[in-house]
Amino acid sequence: MDNVDIVYVLLVLSTLVVLYFLLAVAGRKTKKQIHHAVLSMTASIFLWNIAVLFYLTFSNVPWILAICERLYFLGTILASISVLFTGLIFARTKIKFTWKHGLLFIVPAISIVVLFTNQSHHLFYTTFSLIPSVQDFGVYFTIHTIYSYLCIGIGLAYLLIFSIKDYGVFSKQSSLIFIGIMISLIIDAISTFKIFDWSTAIENIAFAVTISFFILAVVKFNFLNVIPIALQTVIDLIPDSYAVIDEDFEIIDYNKAFLDGFKGASRKAGIMTIIQKNYSPFDVKRFESFLQEAVREQKKVSFEVSRAAGEGFAYYTVEIIPISISRDHIGTIILKRDITEHKNDLKEVMQLNERLQSLATRDWLTQAYNRYFFDERLQQEIELVNRLQTYGQDSEKSINNFGLIMFDIDYFKIYNDNNGHLAGDELLQTIVTVVKGALYSTDIVCRYGGEEFAVICCQTSEQGIRVAAEKTRKTVEEYAFRFQDKQPGNNLTVSVGAVYCSTANMIREDLIKKVDHNLYLAKSGGRNQVVF
């Protein structure tokens, strides 16, 4: 078989390869911009191949040769602009066509007009042949050639630059595309500039090789379905789960953490299907609601989920981040971050704060509130009464009045001297427990100093203060304390002073002086009594 026959056979095979890829891309039910760009490029190359094939097959039919001449150049015109847009869309995933993009079609449009009117002016070519040395081109062909190589060069540059930018190195998909187009570009340049005097059918065979690289990129590495959004190598090292879904909510990219955390995850799988396999119906509804909100309003949405883990729970935050270019939604990023350790740390901090708060406001021995807390809370109650008495309504004036009770253990020094300070400390603790049990939970028991205690009775009437004061005295009197038989009168008692606070312009120091004076009267009057 001579060289011409071999070239012809390879041309036929290459045309079939291009046709196969053309039908494969055209047969997709849903197509994105990248599909249309690659489809346009493949159709242009197929048109070019058919023109050369028919030119060789029907070399004795003049009208077919005339048509093939025009189809030959038409294919090259459309192929160059298609390569440019393939690179643009690959780099940006999705582009919004504007008048600026329309300007790119001006030279190809002029080229087509010049081509189809070439017989009247021969600006495109004067002699057509598949052998470069025989071809004779017109003036306009130079413009067409420069523009075509610019389009192909820019398209390849976008593939190169954005592959490195998005992946750190060439992605496997774009590497195949870049190498394939470069092979065809080099062969085409050799023919165009007549470096070797071979049949231009070699160019068509070379472009079939390019299409073979495209087929490999699609089949092996899922090209046309991968959006170059993140650094794949890097994100696989990130412990947080990461996934990218397209506008149809199908998974197109994810990292290893996502695969480990979501059973059944795979490319092309619906994100909601995967969520349903891994979470409760309640969490599925929440996720779907937040996902729709993020896409609809084009804003980042964050929420928290939890899952049973061993004897406790694992906590996660989920962030849904919509991706848009020129306000066109093209996909969504989903991030899931484990915050269990943070939650546990926060819980420990809160417990520590409670502990510190307790140390700051409570007496270390009796666990009653301390003097600092007493002063602060008493001032708050006074200010409330003052404000309501001055500005409040009649219905508010009495309901927020309060009372102050102060009691002192009778003969506490004798108790300490007879039984020791440890017994005295135990008595102080018991006194607090007994008095707290006798009063309402809203009444605030504080250790004022030494064996002296104060009770703030919030939102209490005058009669309520009388009852609380007497109840305090009587409860202590009736309780059986250790060593109380050694006390004077064979019993342990307290003296109580009390005041009712209901007038405006009260001053804390004056109030304390009044209740302290009443306590003094109770003790000097014989002890174990209430002075109100």
Q: Tell me the sheet residues that pair with 444.
A: 456
pTM: 0.48
* pLDDT for res 230: 37
For residue 129, what are the CA distances in angstroms to 63, 74, 199?
Answer: 15, 15, 9
CATH topology of domain 362-531: Alpha-Beta Plaits (3.30.70)
Fold of 3-221: Rhopdopsin 7-helix transmembrane proteins (1.20.1070)
Q: Which two tokens stand for residue 184?
A: 């065809």
Strands 328-338 and 402-409: unpaired
Instruction: Give the ranges where 93-138 is alpha helix by DSSP (H).
Output: 99-103, 106-116, 118-121
* Amino acid residing at 321: I
Bridge pairing between strands 444-449 and 452-457: antiparallel
325 bridge partner residues = 328
Alpha-carbon span 213 to 339, nearest angstrom = 44
Superfamily of domain 232-343: PAS domain (3.30.450.20)
CA distance 203 to 18: 13
Given a contact cutoff of 8 angstroms between Cβ atoms, the answer to whether 79 and 147 are in contact is no
Contacts of 516 (CB under 8 A, 6+ apart): 406, 497
Residue spans of the domains in the chain: they are 3-221, 232-343, 362-531
3-state secondary structure of 330: strand
Residue closest to 58 by CA, chosen among 71, 46, 45: 71
For residue 169, what pLDDT is reported? 42
User: Is 335 in contact with 319 (CB distance < 8 Å)?
Assistant: yes
Burial 80-103 (b: 16+ CB within 10 A, else e): bbbbbbbbbbbbbbbbeeeeeeee
Q: Which two tokens stand for residue 141?
A: 């062909």
Give pLDDT, residue 199: 63
Straight-line distance from the first to the last Cα atom of the chain, in angstroms, rounded to the nearest whole number: 128
Q: What is the pLDDT of residue 268?
A: 82
- Tell me, what DSSP letter sits at residue 308? E
CB 435 within 8 A of CB 475: yes
Strand partners, 245: 251, 332
User: At 244, which helix (H) or strand (E)?
Assistant: strand 241-246
Q: Going residue by residue through the chain, which has 532 residues, state the pLDDT in tens, using 9 for 90 and above.
A: 444 578 788 778 888 888 888 888 888 788 888 788 888 988 988 898 888 889 888 988 889 988 998 998 898 899 889 888 888 887 777 788 888 889 999 999 999 999 999 989 999 988 888 777 777 888 998 898 899 889 988 887 787 676 655 544 445 655 666 676 677 667 766 666 666 656 666 776 776 677 666 666 654 545 555 444 434 555 566 778 888 888 888 888 888 888 888 888 888 888 999 888 888 888 889 989 999 999 888 899 998 888 777 777 888 889 999 988 777 788 899 998 888 888 888 888 887 887 777 677 888 899 999 999 999 999 999 998 888 877 776 666 667 789 999 999 999 999 999 999 999 999 999 999 999 999 998 999 999 989 999 999 998 899 999 999 999 999 999 999 999 999 998 999 999 999 998 887 888 999 999 999 999 999 999 999 999 9
Return phi, psi of residue 490, to 5°: 55, 30
- Determine how β-strand 494-501 pairs with β-strand 530-531: parallel
Q: Give me the torsion for CA of 474, 476, 477, 480, rounded to 10°.
A: 140
Decide if 277 contacts 263 (C-beta within 8 A): yes
* SS3 annotation, 332-398: EEEEEEECHHHHHHHHHHHHHHHHHHHHHHECCCCCCECHHHHHHHHHHHHHHHHHHHHHCCHHHHC
CA distance linking residue 35 with residue 21, whole number of Å: 11
> What is the structure's pLDDT at 445?
96
DSSP state of 270: B
Burial of 46 (0-12, 13-18, 19+ CB in 10 A): buried
Q: Could you tell me how far CA 182 lies from the centroid of its own chain?
A: 40
> Minimal CA–CA distance to 499: which of 518, 527, 525?
518
Query: How far is Cα 498 from Cα 407, in angstroms, rounded to an integer?
Result: 9
